[in-house]
Amino acid sequence: MKGLARLSAPAAGIIIAVLAIVVLAADQASKQLAVTRLTEFEPVQVLGEALQWNLVFNPGAAFSLGEGVTWIFTIALALVACAIVFLAITRVRTRSWAIVLGLLLGGVLGNLTDRLFLDPGFGVGHVVDFILTPWMWFWTNPAIYNVADMFIVCGMIAVAVLVLIGINFDGTRGDKPAEAALDEADAEDADAESDDEPESSPAPLRRDRSGRAKESLGDD
C-alpha cells in the first residue's frame, strides 16, 4: 500500500508552528474576554442550559480533573510540548500529522501559558475555564473547559485515529520503513520508464560472398 505525499522538514515545521500559534492566540484571546466580561461562578446561558459561559479558575487538568496536583500537569504539559517539537524537527514528514500535532501543540501551549503566568504563582497557575456543557458527562459532573482543552482532546482523538489506520510520521503506512517505501517507489518509476521505451528493431541482414546471412551492423 502506497504512503502519503511526503513533506520536507521545513514545510512540516512551518505547518505545525503556524497552527500552534493560531490556536494559542485564539485560546488566550477567548480567555481574556471571559475574564474581563464574566463574573466567576455566575453562569450566562447561551443556548439554554446546553451551552453556558461560566468563569472558573481551574487548578486541575482538562474538565477540572486532578485539582490537587497542579504542578504535575504543568510538567506534563511541558513534556508534551517538547515531544511535539522534537517530532516536528526529526520525524514528521506528512501533512496529516503536521496538522494534528500543530493543533495539539497550540492547545498544550494555551494551558501551559496559564500554568506559568497566572495566579497563584509560576508553575501552579490556575487555568481559565469558561465553557459549560452540563450534558457532556450525562449531567453527573458539569464539564467546564476552554478552547485549549477542546484542541487537546480532539488532537488526542486524531492521533489515535492516525495510529489505528497505520499512518506513520514520515507518510508511510503500517510497519514499512521510509527507506523501503522509497525503494519501492523508485522501482515502480523504473518499471514505468522501461515500459515507455520502444522495443529495438532487429539489425538488418545481408549476405556475404559465401552466402551467409550477417547482421550488417554487427559485422561492419
- Residues with Cβ within 8 Å of 120's Cβ and at least 6 positions away in sequence, in order, are 126
Options 114, 149, 219, 220, the catalytic residue: 149
Give which of 213, 195, 196 is closest to 205, Cα–Cα: 213
Strand partners, 128: 57
Options 27, 129, 191, 220, the catalytic residue: 129
Is 149 known to be catalytic?
yes
- Residues with Cβ within 8 Å of 107's Cβ and at least 6 positions away in sequence, in order, are 23, 27, 147, 148, 149, 150, 151, 152, 155
Is 175 known to be catalytic?
no
Contact 145, 59 (CB under 8 A): no
Catalytically active residues are 129, 149
